Amino acid sequence: MGGVRNRPAADGRGASGPYRRMGRPGAGSEMMSESSVAAVSAVDVWKVYGSGEAQVMALASITTRFEKGRFTAIMGPSGSGKSTLMHCLAGLDTVTRGMIHIGETPLTGMNDTQLTKLRRNQIGFVFQQFNLLPTLTAEENMLLPLSIAGRKVDPEWFETIVTTVGLKDRLGHRPTQLSGGQQQRVACARALLARPDVIFADEPTGNLDSRAGADVLSFLRNSVHEHGQTIIMVTHDPVAASYADHVIFLADGRMVDELSAPTAEGVLDKLKSLDTEPVH
């Protein structure tokens, strides 16, 4: 990441918790059952590339769950498997063994058409590259996925998101007329407008300077705490990870540790220990 060095005060960190989607009034035990379903879960997930002597084990026996309405970061040394895990969780890559669910929907066994439909309807993405179409305005880029899916825009939700990202006076600008931080905020707004079950963010501040990166991370955190969004972020930066509610750590393709209410210093200490301790 371009270096988000100073994290602002964690607004709302001590709040009673993020908004949770509730079941129908009077649903009783059914409502409790729904709330116990994770946004994303992985059970004994393995990912192996190649075969024989050329075989590479990217993921080994990963079992974890990502709760609804939480911001979770995935961290680990280079080559630890964090990006591979995100790709498998999001249905961008298949697993060699194990089960992955988005809510109650199993990804295992889905064909390409089914996975494409699931990603379009239930998942949002924010990447290091902004992936904005240069001929479209900021507003048109935000609305493009909904247009492709044939879904109507909720005007009130659009107003909320645009106000939150601070781009109300930039909607008519094309990407070349926006700063890097503004372009990434357009990408974040685009992901949020569809109200996905989960947003996967892969090094979302990697191309941004310190201030712009902090703005984007604050926006992502606020979308969780204020709007109940679920976000899973891959990052190599301890300060970026400190914006999350929870961090899981990978090493050599295995999940080796986790940390709640992380600080940049605490995350850095964990990462240093992964570089010195053998993984079993």
Query: pLDDT tens-digit profile of 134-174?
Result: 999 999 999 999 998 889 999 999 999 998 888 999 999 99
To which H or E segment does residue 191 belong?
helix 180-193
Asked if 180 and 212 touch (Cβ cutoff 8 Å), the reply is: yes
Give me 274's structure tokens.
């992964």
Q: What is the rounded distance in angstroms from the CA atom of residue 71 to the CA atom of residue 217?
A: 11
236 backbone dihedrals φ, ψ, rounded to 5°: -105, -5
233-270 confidence digits (pLDDT tens) = 999 999 999 999 999 999 999 999 999 999 999 999 99
pLDDT for 277 equals 59
pLDDT for 276 equals 60
pLDDT for 64 equals 97
59 vs 24, more confident? 59
Residue ranges of domains in the chain, CATH in brackets: 67-83+109-276 (3.40.50.300)
pLDDT for 188 equals 94
Q: What is the rounded distance in angstroms from the CA atom of residue 254 to the CA atom of residue 267?
A: 17
What is the DSSP secondary structure assignment for residue 167, as one 8-state letter? -
Q: How much is the mean pLDDT over the chain?
A: 86
116-128 confidence digits (pLDDT tens) = 999 988 999 999 9
List, as one string, the DSSP characters of 64-121.
EEE-TT-EEEEE-STTSSHHHHHHHHTTSS--SEEEEEETTEE-TT--HHHHHHHHHH
Q: How confident is the model at residue 12 (pLDDT cuts 50, 70, 90)?
A: very low
pLDDT for 279 equals 52
pTM of the model: 0.83
